[in-house]
Amino acid sequence: MREMIVSELTQAMEQLTRGFAHILPRIIVLVIIAFAGWVVAYFLKVFLRSILRLIKFDKLSESAGASALLTKAALPSATELLSRLVFWVAWLGFILLGVSVLGIFGLQEQIAKFFLFLPHLFVALCIMFFGLLAASFFSRAALLAAVNANLPSPRLLSVSIRFIIIIFVLSMVFEEVGVAEQTMLVAFGIAFGALMLGLAIAFGAGGKDLAQQFLEKKFGHGKKDEGKEDELSPL
Amino acid sequence: MAEVRLADESFLTDDFLRQLINVGEVDILVGVPTHNNAKTIGSIVEAIQAGILRFFPRERAAIINADGGSRDGTPELIVKAAIDDARGRSSKPYTLRTLHSISTQYSSSPARGTALQTILAAAELLRAKACAVISPDSTQITTDWLTTLLQPIYTEEFDLVLPTYSRHRSDGILLTNLLYPMTRALYGLKIREPYALDCAFSGRLGSQFLAQNAWHDETVRAGCETQFTLGAIAGEYRICQSFFGTKEHVPRGSADLVPAMRQTVGALFSSMEPNFSFWSTKTGSQSIPTTGAERECILEPLRVNRKRLREMFTTGIAELESVFQSILSPPTLAELQRIARPEEVRFRYSAELWVKTVYEFAAAYHKSVISRDHIIQALAPLFRGRAFTFLVENSNGSADDVEHNVEALCLEFERMKPYLLEIWNGGK
């Protein structure tokens, strides 16, 4: 009985030693890959930060309105944030590459999925950034045009345009990353439709006189020149 | 020579090129850019024709019309103006040479830059010695205009002749409050009308501008007239100005201000970058040769809605705060917000604050803090505030008082030029 126990224990110890001897080199490879990954990711971060500073990315982000959002969320500057993101994505990628060397059943499939997801994440970030840039540009253009045309509530018009573009951009981003695609599509449809209906009702009910003035100015040739002589002749 | 240049002038139509080749070479070319000007073009072309026959009867001359897709028969009216001495038609005056009149449609919609580019290309192909550009809106044109414009180029070897006009004191406020004083402060020349729709230039200057200019640039195309003047100044060409009588008051709508600012202020701001080494060293200003009568200020009453100007200034300050924060320094913005307060009974946009505002806008344009076109648009409400002050200050003044106020503003622009240099490359 005693011999049997000793024999089983010895066998188990041998198996454990064999397993450990089998996995140890792989763990060492994982550590080496992770370390090499850290070095590569660090250099990538430094390189990207320099490039972004060179092209004045923070200024671009400021004009896109992204910097204001980051400040409100107590996050670092756009350059720093993007550099850190690249660092973590690159390092995580190396770590997962190292983990796949361990040969753990089922893990490799998940890692492959993660790598397939990365391009979608990158595209989503690009859509987000350029979408914010477009929202900022067009809302400012609308604001300036409305102020110079002496239209009522220019800021409301500008904010509405920004809101519509941001909603549109967010729905695209969620669709790209595959999060609640159907829900986002329906939500976008409802929000956009409600906004348009609201604007139509508001214009019809509240802006009756404004619409009349606009149409008279546009098509009422007899009255077209009235008031023009009250204007400034700049050149 | 004309054949050699054909490849470069690929934007000209084949038919137009053929007509130009048939003309050969000319001494004098008069360009008329048009778009639906049938009502006025007849009298203008008659005056041009009579001017050429009277003052340049022995010179080879051509009238070139660059049309932006007129649908009222404007080009046909100009082409009819051709005089062929071989036919000897009794209805036309006698000429020693054939007076060619050619029209080309450069586009189906008007574009001032392309019109000027077409006229410059035609002048180069025809190797014209002196060229004049006459606006189709210049209904006050007389036959004397031709000699006033072209003689300094043709006989006195000037390169650019710019007009001066007698204007109503409420007319051309953008010129008197920004374009003239700032051009003068930057480039050191007292040019009253840097934005000239009627002007004359030498073949040399025309070819240089045609070759050097970035015609694909939207800012250049929009403000080509101003760019042309500024290019001549920076190229140190010989410039003079001549008196052309009274500038007719053209009633405009508020929507005309932003395009006018793009054509003038946009062009002035964008010219500052390439010409930095030229203007940054200039101090003071000097007069340029001027011919003809003295220009004077017309004082007859003219309705201008001042209340609306002030309202639009106040609205602009309130609504565009976020835009101004990117462009103006905090003290300038704070001062503008102070004068825009409704409780501020005696509203006054002082010359010093106006100059500071304009210089900060110029520096912001240089640094592209936001879209450059947005910077120009954001200046429009502030200009309305300054226009209000200018109108109030000059409402009861004599012609001398108005001139004195404009001169004081010019000196303020010159005095504060070091501030512009300081902020040009530095912070706000």
Over residues A85-106, the pLDDT tens digits come to 889 988 988 888 888 877 777 7
Averaged pLDDT, A199-203: 76
Boundary (domain end) residue, out of B240, B275, B298: B298
What confidence score (pLDDT) does residue B331 get? 95
Kindly write down the DSSP assignment for every residue of B225-289, as one continuous string: HHHHHHHHHHTT--EEEEEEEEPPP----GGGHHHHHIIIIIHHHHHHTTTHHHHTT--S-B---
Question: String of b and e for B80-93 (b: at least 16 CB within 10 Å)?
Answer: ebebeeeeeeeebe
Is there a single domain that holds both residue A85 and residue A125?
no
In total, chain B counts a number of residues equal to 428
Average of per-residue pLDDT across B174-198: 93
Residue among B258, B263, B313, B390 with most chain A CBs within 10 A, to mutate = B258
A98 and A144 in a single domain? The answer is no
A112 belongs to a structural domain: no
Same domain, B317 and B270: no
Are B172 and A234 an interchain contact pair (Cβ–Cβ within 8 Å)?
A: yes
- Give the range among A21-30, A179-188, B96-105, B302-311 with minimum mean pLDDT: A179-188
Nearest in space to B207 (alpha carbons), one of B111, B113, B118, B123: B123
Q: Do B375 and B284 fall within a single domain? A: no
Residues of chain B contacting residue A146, judged by C-beta atoms under 8 Å apart: 319
**B350 vs B332: CA distance, rounded Å:** 12
Shared domain for A51 and A136, answered yes or no, is no
**Phi/psi at B220 (nearest 5 deg)?**
-65, -45
Whether residues B230 and B352 share a domain: the answer is no
Q: B273 and B386 share a domain?
A: no
Whose CA is closest to A146, among B333, B173, B374? Answer: B374
Span B315-336, average pLDDT = 93
CA distances from B154 to A210, A211, B41, B129 (A): 57, 57, 25, 7
Q: Name the DSSP letter for residue B53.
A: H
Q: Tell me: do B121 and B182 sit in the same domain.
A: yes
- Backbone dihedral angles phi then psi of residue B29, each to the nearest 5 degrees: -130, 135
Model pLDDT, residue B379:
95
Residues A205 and A130 in one domain: yes
Q: What's the confidence (pLDDT) of residue B1?
A: 39
Lowest-confidence segment of A216-225, B58-67, B320-329, B358-367 by average pLDDT:
A216-225
| Continuous H helices in B341-371 | 351-367
Q: Which residue of A has its CA nearest to B376?
A: A144
A95 in a structural domain: yes
In chain B, what percentage of residues exceed pLDDT 70?
90
Q: Which of B275, B298, B321 is the last residue of a domain?
A: B298
Q: Is residue A196 part of a domain?
A: yes
Q: What is the pLDDT of residue B119?
A: 93
B-interface mutation test, from A63, A148, A162, A214, most B Cβ less than 10 A away: A148
Does residue B363 sit in the same domain as residue B242? no
A187 close to A171: Cβ distance less than 8 angstroms: yes
Query: Angle at which helices A107-148 and B306-319 pack, to 10 degrees?
Result: 160
Residue A128: partners with Cβ closer than 8 Å, 6 or more residues away? A169, A173
Instruction: Say whether both A50 and A127 belong to one domain.
Output: no
Give me the domain span that covers residue A96: 26-104
Chain A partners within 8 Å of B257 (Cβ): 148, 232, 234
Q: Which amino acid is at B390?
A: F
Chain B CB contacts of A148 below 8 Å: 254-255, 257-258, 377, 380-381
- From the list A141, A147, A235, the residue facing B175 with the nearest CB is A235
Same domain as A124, residue A85: no
A47 belongs to a structural domain: yes
Number of structural domains chain B divides into: 2
CATH number at residue B169: 3.90.550.10
B172 and B312 belong to one structural domain: no
Which amino acid is present at B428?
Answer: K
Residue B47 to residues B43, B50, B55, B79, B144, Cα–Cα distance (Å): 6, 5, 12, 15, 9
Q: Give the nearest partner residue to A144 out of B304, B309, B377, using CB atoms.
A: B377
What mean pLDDT value characterizes chain B? 86
The mean pLDDT of A155-180, rounded to a whole number, is 87
State whether B292 and B311 are in the same domain.
no
- Structural domains of chain A, count: 2
Instruction: Mark whether A75 and A131 lie in a shared domain.
Output: no
Q: Do A231 and B264 touch (CB under 8 A)?
A: no
Question: In angstroms, rounded to a whole number, what is the distance separating the alpha carbons of residues A37 and A23?
Answer: 20
B52: Cα within 13 Å, side-chain hemisphere: 31
Which carries the bigger pLDDT value, residue B418 or residue B304?
Answer: B418
Position A7 in a domain = no
Check whether residue A72 and residue A159 sit in a common domain.
Answer: no
How much is the mean pLDDT over chain A? 81
In a shared domain, residues A123 and A212:
yes
Nearest to B123 by CA among B263, B5, B242: B5
Say whether both B56 and B172 belong to one domain: yes
Full-model pTM: 0.79
Task: Report the b/e string of B264-279 with b at 16+ CB within 10 A.
Answer: bbbbbbbbbeebeebb
Q: B258 and B380 share a domain?
A: no
CB-neighbour burial class of residue B53 (10 A; exposed 0-12, middle 13-18, buried 19+): buried
Domain containing B336 equals 306-425
Phi, psi at residue A8, to the nearest 5°?
-65, -40
Residue A20 lies in a domain: no
- What's the CA gap between A197 and B339, in Å, rounded? 40
- Which chain A residues are within 8 Å of B377, Cβ to Cβ? 144-145, 148
Which of B298, B320, B346 is at the close of a domain?
A: B298
Band of the pLDDT at B332, cuts 50, 70, 90? very high
- Minimal-distance CA residue of chain A relative to B378: A144
CB pairs under 8 A between A and B: 96
